[in-house]
Amino acid sequence: KAGVTQTPRYLIKTRGQQVTLSCSPISGHRSVSWYQQTPGQGLQFLFEYFSETQRNKGNFPGRFSGRQFSNSRSEMNVSTLELGDSALYLCASSQIPTGTYNEQFFGPGTRLTVL
Amino acid sequence: DQQVKQNSPSLSVQEGRISILNCDYTNSMFDYFLWYKKYPAEGPTFLISISSIKDKNEDGRFTVFLNKSAKHLSLHIVPSQPGDSAVYFCAATPRAGGTSYGKLTFGQGTILTVHP
């Protein structure tokens, strides 16, 4: 079974631009979560999507948005990029069986550098 | 507000010895705890987990201990191997079915170096 894939793996943008990152979950997984990893803040939860609906959202400004498609693939978008948005963006997928916690499987991440 | 804290940024141990990584949390709603391991240029990989109804879970060389009264958990690796060198993150999540279900709150990570 293929793992979580993220594209692109590396991205360089300039301040003020916008960026879209893509995540394909493991086949059969319907939940996709996004995290931002920075040296100072560690891994921080951005949002989670399940069945094309955003279920949870972290404490990030509205410049960060996402969506999920009917095939469970997800995209996240960051508009008006700032230098502080430079980070590793990680996507994780999981199944949602009733009543139990699901392990989240992470992709390799997209390294975004904002100049 | 750092709800999950790993107060040791780094840990260095000798091959064959025990590695103990610590994690503290403040949110009493956390019900399930996980440890992830991360190599450079890769995403975190699930290592071991523990539910709040247990105080210990063991998987091979890895054991996680949970002390709910102290809101503290630890990961023991015995014996430590050079291939264990990585960043270790503890994470927590509330009870399944709650509105925050699925959201992992991570600690800052501890860099473990195991010397041959």
Backbone conformation region of residue A113, classed left if phi is above 0, alpha if psi is from -120 to 50, else beta: beta
For A55-86, write each residue's pLDDT tens digit: 888 899 999 999 999 999 999 999 999 999 99
Chain A neighbors of B24, CB-CB under 8 A: none
CB-based contact A82:A72 (threshold 8 Å):
no
Pairing of strands A31-38, A87-94: antiparallel
Coil/strand/helix, residue A85:
helix
Helices and strands of chain A, counted as H and E runs: 0, 11
Query: From chain A, which residues contact B within 8 Å (Cβ)?
Result: 4, 31, 33, 35, 41-45, 48, 50, 55-56, 58, 90, 92, 94, 96, 99-109
Residue A96 has pLDDT above 50, yes or no: yes
For chains A and B, what is the number of CB pairs under 8 angstroms?
69
CB spacing of B43 vs A45 below 8 angstroms = no
Shortest CA distance from A3: residue in chain B: B43
Backbone conformation region of residue B26, classed left if phi is above 0, alpha if psi is from -120 to 50, else beta: alpha
pLDDT on residue A41: 75
- CA B99 to centroid of chain Cα atoms: 23
The beta-carbon neighbor of B93 closest among A43, A101, A107 is A101
Radius of gyration over every alpha carbon of chain B, rounded to an integer in angstroms: 14
Query: What does the block give as tokens for A40?
Result: 């100072």
Q: Mean pLDDT, chain B, as a whole number?
A: 91
Chain B neighbors of A35, CB-CB under 8 A: 104, 106
Helix (H) or strand (E) holding A68: strand A64-68
For A5-40, write each residue's pLDDT tens digit: 999 999 999 999 999 999 999 999 998 999 999 877
Residue A100 has pLDDT above 70, yes or no: no
Helix (H) or strand (E) holding A112: strand A110-114
Query: From chain B, which residues contact A within 8 Å (Cβ)?
Result: 31-32, 34, 36, 41-46, 49, 51, 89, 91, 93, 96-97, 99-109
CB spacing of B102 vs A96 below 8 angstroms = yes
Q: Mean pLDDT, chain A, as a whole number?
A: 91
Kindly indicate the confidence band of residue A98, based on its pLDDT and cuts at 50, 70 and 90: very low
CB-based contact B73:B34 (threshold 8 Å):
no
For B30-77, write each residue's pLDDT tens digit: 888 999 999 987 899 999 999 999 999 999 999 999 999 999 999 999
Residue A52 has pLDDT above 80, yes or no: yes
For B64-107, write each residue's pLDDT tens digit: 999 999 999 999 999 999 999 999 999 998 866 555 566 788 99
Query: What does the block give as tokens for A69?
Result: 């498609």
Coil/strand/helix, residue A15:
coil
pLDDT on residue B14: 98
What's the rounded Cα separation, in Å, for the pair B23 and B89? 9
